[in-house]
Amino acid sequence: MRLGFVVNPIAGMGGRVGLKGTDDKVEEARARGATPRSPDRARRALAAIVEAVPDVTLLTWGEPMGADIARDVGLDPEVLGYPEGSETTAADTRAAVAAFLDADADLVCFVGGDGTAADVAEALEGTEVPMLGVPGGVKVYSSVFAVSPEDAADVLASFERTERREVMDIDEDEYREGSVNPELRAVAWVPVGEDLQSSKQTGSGNVEAVAEGVAEEVEPGVTYVLGPGSTVGAVKAALGFAGSPLGVDVWRDGEVLARDASEAEILDALGDRNVIVVSPIGGQGFIFGRGNPQLSPDVIRRCEVEVVASRSKLDDIGALRVDTDDPDLDAELRGWTRVRVGRFESRLLEVR
């Protein structure tokens, strides 16, 4: 297999520092102490690809867009070009993909978020060369991504056909203001595999009973870390405050300790006992790793986890998923867990 591999090195940087994305926010993210996320995920994906597809010929772009990472895992890539300036851009991604096509790539694998997916799809338009995403951004709404970096290798090693899938993206400024309006940016060919995520769908169902159940059972002295989304938003309302709809809020004993908090702010607000309340993303099932990177491994390890959802959302997703950037933690979180679906009711669902 001739595999084109390109990395957006700044994708996902804004997540843990509360920026909900990196579009036009790179310098602010760095000022808040953000560090690159996607290179580590690229390294995980390539290490798995080396094992799963030993005969791969890797085509890539110069550092920091893939060549350095490929060499780190023992590959000798064909480097077809380099980014134009000190800061990588969407144009660099499109140029890399165009070069892969000229070099007869069989498939293009990229590391980034929905914006990167749209850039890759644009460069592939008019061809039937498939693309596969390794999730590395904050917003990962499109159905062209593998569930995790390692799953991308499994898909590459096992797929036998391709199909057309949606590339979605949202306006990050609207997203930061609490408005989610996914827009179809492209339809691209993608290898078919079990470990692909679905596109983001809107959940439905009455969540008031779920919210009332959580609110009735809060305990004095316990710190509650309340994730993003409309379901947990109802929990925030039941606790008596208007939370940030797409951010993480921290609450204890009737007081909001942090609103739209970054990872560092969450860690500072934690107490002796802490509970994360999260709801899976409709259509995908992720409870960690999509849209809430502020809930980092360090945060999760200091907390208990309560998952809440409407029954209809659970019917749509079938299973829960995690992708925390820490494979050991992902393994610890997997298994069967209770999901609150009503004021008193719960259902068992598997975390995969």
Q: Which amino acid is at 301?
A: R
Quick check: is 60 in a domain? yes
* Whether residues 174 and 285 fall in one domain: no
Look at residues 186, 134, 137 and name the one whose alpha carbon lies nearest to residue 156: 134
Quick check: is 202 in a domain? no
Predicted pLDDT of residue 43 = 96
Q: Name 279's Cβ contacts closer than 8 Å, sequence gap at least 6.
A: 203, 227, 229, 231, 232, 287, 307, 308, 309, 313
3-state secondary structure of 286: strand
The mean per-residue pLDDT over the stretch 260-265 comes to 95
The mean per-residue pLDDT over the stretch 25-48 comes to 79
* Whether residues 165 and 234 fall in one domain: no
* Whether residues 152 and 256 fall in one domain: no
Question: What span, in angstroms and rounded, lies between the C-alpha atoms of 80 and 224?
Answer: 49
Q: Please check the confidence at residue 58 and state whether its pLDDT lies above 90.
A: yes
Quick check: is 109 in a domain? yes
- Are the C-beta atoms of residues 167 and 190 closer than 8 Å to each other? no
* Whether residues 124 and 216 fall in one domain: no
| Residue range(s) defining the domain that contains residue 342 | 208-351
Quick check: is 333 in a domain? yes
Q: Any idea of the CA torsion for 181, 186, 190, 196, to the nearest 10 degrees?
A: 0
Predicted pLDDT of residue 203 = 40
Query: Token digits for 39?
Result: 């290179």
Quick check: is 324 in a domain? yes
Cα–Cα–Cα angle for 104, 110, 113, rounded to 5 degrees: 150
Look-up of token digits 């090195």: 9
Which tens digits make up the pLDDT trace of 159-209?
A: 999 999 989 876 655 655 555 566 788 989 999 987 776 655 444 447 888
Query: Token digits for 266?
Result: 């969450």
* Local structure of residue 198 (DSSP, 8 states): P
The long-range contacts involving 129-133, CB below 8 angstroms and separated by at least 24 positions, are 129/101, 129/105, 129/189, 130/162, 130/188, 130/189, 130/190, 130/191, 131/107, 131/188, 131/189, 131/190, 132/107, 132/108, 132/156, 132/190, 132/191, 133/109
SS3 helix, strand, coil % of the chain, rounded to 5?
30, 25, 45
Quick check: is 198 in a domain? no
Q: How many domains does the chain have?
A: 2
Average pLDDT of the residues of the chain: 88
Q: Name the strand (E) or helix (H) holding 336.
A: strand 335-340
Quick check: is 197 in a domain? no
Q: Please check the confidence at residue 289 and state whether its pLDDT lies above 60.
A: yes
* Whether residues 124 and 270 fall in one domain: no
* Whether residues 101 and 213 fall in one domain: no
Rounded percentage of the chain residues whose pLDDT exceeds 70: 87
* Whether residues 256 and 343 fall in one domain: yes
* Whether residues 137 and 229 fall in one domain: no
Look-up of token digits 């000229």: 102
* Whether residues 212 and 187 fall in one domain: no
CATH of the domain at 62: 3.40.50
Rounded percentage of the chain residues whose pLDDT exceeds 90: 67
Q: Name the most confidently modeled range: 11-15, 189-193, 330-334.
A: 330-334
Which tens digits make up the pLDDT trace of 81-103?
A: 999 988 899 999 999 999 999 99
Quick check: is 147 in a domain? yes
Residue that terminates a domain, selected from 191, 220, 242: 191
Query: Token digits for 283?
Result: 């259509």
Residue that terminates a domain, selected from 191, 223, 238: 191
Question: What span, in angstroms and rounded, lies between the C-alpha atoms of 89 and 64?
Answer: 12
* Whether residues 111 and 217 fall in one domain: no
Q: For the chain, what's the residue count?
A: 352
* Whether residues 185 and 51 fall in one domain: yes
Look at residues 176, 179, 166, 207 and name the one whose alpha carbon lies nearest to residue 309: 207
Between 137 and 292, where is the model more confident? Answer: 292
Question: What span, in angstroms and rounded, lies between the C-alpha atoms of 131 and 164?
Answer: 10
> From residue 116, how far is each of 94, 160, 194, 253, 305 by CA, in Å?
9, 25, 22, 42, 31
Sign of the dihedral defined by the CA atoms of residues 327, 328, 333, 335, in that order: positive
* Whether residues 91 and 163 fall in one domain: yes
